[in-house]
A and B are shown apart, each in its own frame.
Chain A
Amino acid sequence: MVPVSDEMMKRVHALDLPFNRYGIDPYGIQASTLAEVFTVLSWLYYSYFRVHVSGLANVPSAGRSMLVGNHSGGWALDGIMTMTALFLEPEPPRLAQGMAERFIGRAPLIGQMAKAMGAIVGIPENATHLLEHERLLLVYPEGAKGTEKLYSERNSLVDFGTGFLRLALRTRTPIIPVAFVGGGEAIPTIFNLYKLARRLGVPYIPITPWGLAVPRPTTLQIYFGEPIWFEGDGNEEDVIILRWVNEVKEAIAKLISKGVEERHRIEINRTKATAKTPW
C-alpha cells in the first residue's frame, strides 16, 4: 500500500472515466491502483528524472485521439512517463491507455497491474473498442523491435506497422505524433538476451553497462506534435497507407530531431535551476 494524497485522488477522479461505486471502470481500470501508482510515478517524474514536456496543448482535453510515439529505452519507460505527464500536467488530467504486447495478457502480477492502469493487449478489436468509447490511446508502431534498440540507435526509428493508421481511419481518430528523447540515455542497452527471455516468457531482456535495465536519473523529453487527420475508411491500398504511415513517422522524426537539438540546452537549464533551488 502506498500512502495517497487527497490531491492525487482528486486528479484520479477528475479523469473522464466512468468509475462505478467501487472505483472500477468497464476496462478494469482501478481508481485506487491509479492513485497509488501515480503517487510513485510522480516522484520519479518530478524528483528522479528531469522531465521536459512540450506541446501539451496538442492533446485534446476530451474525446478520442491516438498518440503515436517512438520507443526509446530498453523497456516501456517512454510509455509510462508519457502517461505520467498526461496525468500530472494538463487540466483536466487524461489517462493515456497503452497498447501492450501480447505477453502482458498472460503475465501474472505485472500484467494485472498494467491492466488496472489501463493498458490493454494490443489487438485491433481492443483498440477500436477504446476509441469508440472516446479514450486516449497510446500506440508504438515500432512494437518490441523499438524497445530492443541499442544505445547507438536510441534516436532512430525502426519500421512502423500500418495497423494503427487503418484503425485511425476506420474510427475517424486524429493522430498525435509523440517523440520521447532520453530513454536511451536512461536505459542504454548494450545488448539483449533472447534465449533466457524466451524461457521467461518475454521477448528479450535488455542489458545495460550496469547489468540490469534499471534506469539512471537523467533528462527525459516528451514532445506532442500537432494532430494529423487523414481522410479515408481504412480500406485503402497498402501503397496509400504506407505513404500516410511515413508522414506520421516523419512527423515523429522531426520532433525527435528537435529534442536532440534542444537536449544540451535543456540539461544545462535544468542543472542551473536545480542549483538555485534552496533545498
Chain B
Amino acid sequence: MKVLITGVSSVPGRLVAELLSRNGHQVMGIDRRPWPGAPSQIPVHRVDLRKRPAEDVFRTFRPEAVVHMATVSYLERSSDDLRHNNLGSTKKVFEYCHNHGAKKAIFVGRHTVYGAASDSPIYHFEDAPPMAGSLYPELADLVAADLYAGQALWRYPELDSVILRIVYELGPHRHSTLATFLEGPKIPTILGFDPLFQFMHEHDIARAIVSALDHSIRGVFNVAGPTPVPLSLLAHETGRTPISLPEVLFPFITGRFGFSRLPPAALDHIKYPILVDDRAFRKATKFAHSYDESDAMIGFRTGDAAKTTNKV
C-alpha cells in the first residue's frame, strides 16, 4: 500500500515509517524538519503542509492511506504564530486526501483533548466531549484539529477517517510532550495531589498506528497502553526528583530554579488525571501493548533504545 506520513521527522513519525516500510508498504514522508539519515526507500519532502508544494506531493504520489502526525501540543509553551498550525494543516490534509483519491486517513491526536478537571470521569470514552480547549487555551488548536478530523467522517464519507487519541509517549528517544516535562532533574508536583499519568512506549505507539492502518476501522478511538502510574512514581522511576510545592508558589517557581516552565492552565494536568478507556480500539484491532509501564520509564531514564527494540 502507498502510505504518506505527515510529520515523518518526529520520533513517532520515523518509527511508523520504518515499521510500515519493513512491512512492505511504499512509504513517503512530509515534514518541514529534516530527517538526517532517513532510509533511502522513504523519501522525505520538506514542505509546509499548508502550502501548494504539499498538495503536489499528494498529486504525484497519490497515497492510498495518509497518516497525519504533523500536530504539536503546547504543554510547555504558548506561541501565537503556532496557534492555528494544527487546525490549518489538518484541514489541508483532509482536503488533499479527498481531492487525490486517498482511501484512508489516520489523524494522530492526543488524549489531552479531554482536559483535566477535578470532576471529570476517571476514564474518558470516545464519546466524551473534548473539553481541553476551554480549560487550557494552549490546547484549543489541537482540540479544533481533532474535531475537524472527526467531521471528515461525514464530510468525506468515501474516506475512512480514523481519529486516534493517544496517551502520552515515553521512551528512549526522549522527545515528546511528557519527555519535555520530565526534562529537568526536579519535577514540580502540587502538594496534596499525585495524579495518575497514562503513557505508552514509543514503539507501542508506532505499532498501534500501524494496527489502525491494517484494520478496516473508521471513527474515533482512544489508544492506551499499560496501567497508569502516579506522577510521583513516574518522576522517581525516570530518575527525577519530585518536589511537592503548594499551588500558590507555582507562579514564582515555574521556569526557575531548575523547574520546567508551565502555563497556568497546565497546573490542572499535574493535579488531576486524564485517563482514557481504550477497549474499543483493542477490540477493533486486537492491539496489545508489548511494553509495560516500567519498560517505558526505564527506557526513558536510560535512553537505551537497543534494550527495547527487540520487542517490536
Contacts and interface: CB of A to CB of B under 8 A. Distances in A.
Are A and B a genuine interacting pair, yes or no?
yes
Interface of A: 18, 20-22, 24-28, 30, 102, 105-109, 111-112, 120-121, 123, 125-126, 129
Contacts of A25: 227
A124 to B, nearest CB: 9
A98 to B, nearest CB: 14
B118 A121 contact: yes
B194 interface: yes
B229 to A, nearest CB: 6
Given A121-B118, A121-B122, A20 B196 contact: no
Interface stretch (B72-80, B161-169, B185-193): B185-193
Interface of B: 118-119, 121-123, 125, 128, 190-194, 196, 226-230, 233, 272-273, 277, 292-294
Interface of B is mostly: loop
Nearest to A26: B227
8 contacts: A24-B229, A25-B227, A30-B230, A108-B193, A109-B191, A120-B122, A123-B119, A126-B123
A14 B302 CA distance: 34
Contact of B233 (A22, A107, A108, A109): A22
Contact of A129 (B122, B226, B230, B294): B122
A27 B294 contact: no
Contacts of B230: 24, 28, 30
B298 to A, nearest CB: 11
Contacts of A27: 122
Contacts of B233: 22, 24
Contacts of A123: 119, 121
A21 B192 contact: no
Contact of A106 (B118, B123, B194): B118
A28 to B, nearest CB: 5
A117 to B, nearest CB: 13
B192 A102 contact: no
A105 B273 CA distance: 10
Contact of A105 (B119, B196, B292): B119
